[in-house]
A and B are shown apart, each in its own frame.
Chain A
Amino acid sequence: MATSEVVHAHAAPQGFIRKYIFSLDHKVIGLQYFFLALTAVWVGMILSLFMRIHMVWPNADLPLIGHIQPEAYLSLVTMHGTIMVFFVLTTAPQGGFGNYFLPIQIGAPDMAFPVLNMLSFWTTFVAFVVMIAAFFVTGGAPLHGWTGYPPLSTIQSAGPGEGLGADLWITSIALFCGASLMGALNFITTTLDLRAKGMTMMRMPLTVWSWFITAILGLLAFGVLLSAGILMLMDRNLGTSFYVPLVVVNGQVLAHRGGSPLLWQHLFWFFGHPEVYIAILPGMGVASQLLSTFSRKPIFGYRAMVYAMLAIGFLGFMVWGHHMFMSGMSPYSAFAFSILTMSIGVPSAIKTFNWLGTLWKGRVRLYTPMLFAVGFVSLFVSGGLSGPFLAQPTLDIPLHDTAFVVGHFHLIMGVAAIFGIFAATYYWVPKMFGRMMNETLGKIHFWFSFIGTYCVFMPMHYLGMAGQPRRYSQFTEVAYLHNLIPLNRFITFAAIITISAQLVFVINLFWSILKGQKATDNPWEATTLEWTTATPPPHDNFGGHTPVVHNGPYEYGVPGAARDYAMQSDPAIAPSPAH
């Protein structure tokens, strides 16, 4: 049985600029996305560090920014959220790893539209530069939070950062939308049209499924955010009143009339909620892949996993109203949004159950990537469980503007997704760079990050229930919050330690890329197609061949086989009883 087909080999481009800068190779573009996200995550983390220090020592003079004024604190909140959501959680898992591994895992030589792929990255890069530029213009970065609620975000005179800074912010978001749409177009077309022979949809690794579904969500969501952003730019600069009602600023009546701030909220959250899944779905794919590989067992309930991801993606478009319970919406609408939101618990529980089922009685190999995959599941459960609290209007209304929400979304959308990215990094660096990452440093990094993030975000739930508001620049003088200062201080210390531990990761990454132990072609004894090719993969991925697929993606523990796994391109085996 043929395991590959000979095809015409692609010639690799010569010259530094075509090879590394304006490259059309999806692998180079994937790395560009990855390192962009790595840069962005450090910017975002340092901003959060400033915030945490300011919260407990409000009069401290900080390096680079000095004493933080209330407006500057809001700028930190805004830029931290925006950079993390767009340029880290959307960029690294999908743009980075998706770009690098989706074509290889389906046996394709490249993305369907390489030029579009390159444009997508460079548009993202420009968007990032424009976003960062907001720090340096007159008035500084905007104050309106990553959700950009009008009227604050639409009135130039509303605050120091709401002039040019806010224009740059929304322009950056609009550019990012365009880039994401180009990326989504490429991912969907590639998955549908470039699969190797034998790679049926139901033989695709769950990582591919997660990138594919994420791309569909991006395609449907970013177009709406783009339209919302255009309306915002018009309100800000052309004098229209889509979002801005009659407003009085400093005793002066502005020319706007009759706009609805709620309109922005609807449009924004129609994008914003799917965005949560855009961030977390690739992590789910990676966790599924790694739990199966390192438990040496087929994934438990492959089809159920696929349908659960599709259900999560589908339901994700119908629940945006749960971000708006405070907006005075009709209780009937709130009830519908509440029920739909809680129904997402069903596919989420299916996934969690299947992950645990995969681990159950597995021959678990606790390498660093596996630790992060298990950590992902833990954080997904911990962060997810507070979701049903906030999904109920009666509970959401008192909790909405408190630290409870901060704890909830950071655990599930922030840290869980970041653990997915870490798992992917430790797992795929050997393939991407041909070097193993250091296990000892990896495990140190894992335990500090795992315990550290729980120490940071778990107590926030308690703080929220105790009434600590979020987004407040300073609360240490507020009498009823005095008792919460020690816990806040603990969180700040935990954050400093956790962020410091990320230095271990960066050192490990760069040291391993340069000096790490040489990796074999398949160091994890995994089954998917990227492990069948050379390390690092050649320009056309399979060196003049294209693989033919005969097996499912998770053939581990194969009975009677010489080794305990069958790769996807190996001669076909009888289907395992678990399928």
Chain B
Amino acid sequence: MATVTPNLAVKYPGTRDTGGGRPPSHGGGGNGDSGSSNGSDYRERLRRARLGLIVGLTAVVMMFVGFTSALLFRKGLPSLDPLTNTYTRDWIPINLPWALLAVNTAVLLASSVTMELARRDIGRQVALAPVKSIPGVSLGDERRFPWLGSTVVLGLGFLVGQFLVWRVLREHHFFVYSGPSSSFAYLLFGAHAVHLAGGVIALTYAAATSLLHRPVEARRIVIDIAGLYWHFMALLWIYIFALLLVAR
């Protein structure tokens, strides 16, 4: 005689099994049918990558908080000149090429727009992937505008623009050691440019994964994360621009 064991979890008094941590994903395998498991695995990886990005950006924020507090401290503080035994303020406002910086800002904001379009585009591709896998189903013209490539070009354009800003500063004899305002301008521009160059490398990697025919889900994660990072870089630039506008 067959014995049937009811598949019910015994609920013990006082236990709270709901609301716990999420079960971790283990590299695409798992119980149940593989399609839904892969889907949930991909969503988990995307969520984890986004969480990691937010945590990582917190560190970048703290770095710029450090720079900002240093700038405000240095600007407001008179220093003792031991030769004359008097307190002096040595902060001379720097003349920045505002027009060129405004153009750079516009380029960076435009790149943020193209980045967002690339991010949405890949999101759409992921959503439509199950439909496309049905034999005989076509979604029409598959050619898409190269939003990602445009972002890389615009990002490089911004970096070139920043290089031109530095050249203008040099021509006006504002060197990194010329005075505190000049030092901070170089520091903030440089730190931002290094971070943005990291973004360009990430985007180039994203474009490369697309050429390497990686699964669309893997590409989406890279592009999504690079995109959010890129937007953050645009916001950071606006912050730096405003900071130098107010406290140069």
Q: A6: which B residues are within 8 A, CB to CB?
A: 31
- Check if B59 is an interface residue, CB within 8 A of chain A: yes
- Check if A242 is an interface residue, CB within 8 A of chain B: yes
- Check if B133 is an interface residue, CB within 8 A of chain A: no
Q: A198: which B residues are within 8 A, CB to CB?
A: 17, 20-21
> Do residues B26 and A540 form an inter-chain contact, with CB atoms below 8 A?
yes
Q: A270: which B residues are within 8 A, CB to CB?
A: 66
> Do residues B59 and A223 form an inter-chain contact, with CB atoms below 8 A?
yes
The residue that A185 contacts in the complex, of B24, B31, B56, B81, with Cβ under 8 A, is: B56
> Do residues A242 and B62 form an inter-chain contact, with CB atoms below 8 A?
no
Q: Which of A174-199 contact B (CB under 8 A)?
A: 181, 184-186, 188-189, 192-199
> Do residues A224 and B62 form an inter-chain contact, with CB atoms below 8 A?
yes
- Check if B131 is an interface residue, CB within 8 A of chain A: no
Within the complex, the shortest CB–CB distance from A472 to chain B, in Å, comes to 26
> Do residues A260 and B79 form an inter-chain contact, with CB atoms below 8 A?
yes
Q: Which of B14-65 contact A (CB under 8 A)?
A: 14-17, 19-24, 26-31, 44, 47-48, 51-52, 55-56, 58-65
- Check if B129 is an interface residue, CB within 8 A of chain A: no
- Check if A429 is an interface residue, CB within 8 A of chain B: no
Contact of A259 with B79 at beta-carbon distance under 8 Å, contacts A7-B29, A267-B70 already known? yes
Q: B16: which A residues are within 8 A, CB to CB?
A: 200
> Do residues A223 and B21 form an inter-chain contact, with CB atoms below 8 A?
no
The residue that B51 contacts in the complex, of A7, A192, A239, A267, with Cβ under 8 A, is: A192
In whole angstroms, how far apart are the Cα atoms of A181 and B62 in the complex?
A: 11
> Do residues A241 and B180 form an inter-chain contact, with CB atoms below 8 A?
yes
> Do residues B55 and A242 form an inter-chain contact, with CB atoms below 8 A?
no
- Check if A571 is an interface residue, CB within 8 A of chain B: yes
Interface string of B69-95 (1 = CB under 8 A from A): 110011001011111000011100000
> Do residues B176 and A549 form an inter-chain contact, with CB atoms below 8 A?
no
Tell which of A101-109, A347-355, A449-457 binds the partner. A101-109
Contact of A240 with B177 at beta-carbon distance under 8 Å, contacts A185-B55, A196-B23, A203-B20 already known? yes
The residue that A241 contacts in the complex, of B24, B83, B183, with Cβ under 8 A, is: B183
Q: Which residue of B lies closest to A266 (CB)?
A: B73
> Do residues A194 and B17 form an inter-chain contact, with CB atoms below 8 A?
no
Q: A408: which B residues are within 8 A, CB to CB?
A: none
In whole angstroms, how far apart are the Cα atoms of A194 and B58 in the complex?
A: 20
> Do residues A223 and B66 form an inter-chain contact, with CB atoms below 8 A?
yes
Q: B56: which A residues are within 8 A, CB to CB?
A: 181, 185
> Do residues B70 and A220 form an inter-chain contact, with CB atoms below 8 A?
no
Tell which of B5-13, B113-121, B134-142, B206-214 binds the partner. B5-13
> Do residues A574 and B24 form an inter-chain contact, with CB atoms below 8 A?
no
Q: Which of A202-228 contact B (CB under 8 A)?
A: 203, 219-224, 226-228
Within the complex, the shortest CB–CB distance from B73 to chain A, in Å, comes to 5
In whole angstroms, how far apart are the Cα atoms of A518 and B62 in the complex?
A: 47
- Check if B168 is an interface residue, CB within 8 A of chain A: no
Q: A197: which B residues are within 8 A, CB to CB?
A: 17, 20-23
Within the complex, the shortest CB–CB distance from B209 to chain A, in Å, comes to 15
Categorize the interface residue count of chain B: 35 or more
In whole angstroms, how far apart are the Cα atoms of A533 and B23 in the complex?
A: 18
- Check if A318 is an interface residue, CB within 8 A of chain B: no
> Do residues B26 and A242 form an inter-chain contact, with CB atoms below 8 A?
no
- Check if B201 is an interface residue, CB within 8 A of chain A: no
Q: Which residue of A lies closest to B177 (CB)?
A: A239
In whole angstroms, how far apart are the Cα atoms of A201 and B64 in the complex?
A: 31
> Do residues A241 and B67 form an inter-chain contact, with CB atoms below 8 A?
no
> Do residues A240 and B183 form an inter-chain contact, with CB atoms below 8 A?
yes
Q: A257: which B residues are within 8 A, CB to CB?
A: 79, 90
Q: Which residue of A lies closest to B91 (CB)?
A: A258
> Do residues A108 and B24 form an inter-chain contact, with CB atoms below 8 A?
yes
Contact of A1 with B10 at beta-carbon distance under 8 Å, contacts A223-B59, A224-B66, A258-B90 already known? yes
Q: A194-B21, A219-B55, A546-B23 are in contact. List 15 more A-B contacts (CB 8 A).
A: A6-B31, A9-B26, A184-B59, A185-B59, A194-B48, A198-B20, A219-B59, A221-B62, A223-B59, A226-B63, A240-B177, A241-B180, A263-B73, A270-B66, A572-B14
What are 9 contact pairs spanning A and B, CB under 8 A?
A107-B21, A193-B22, A193-B44, A195-B20, A223-B63, A224-B63, A231-B70, A246-B79, A550-B17
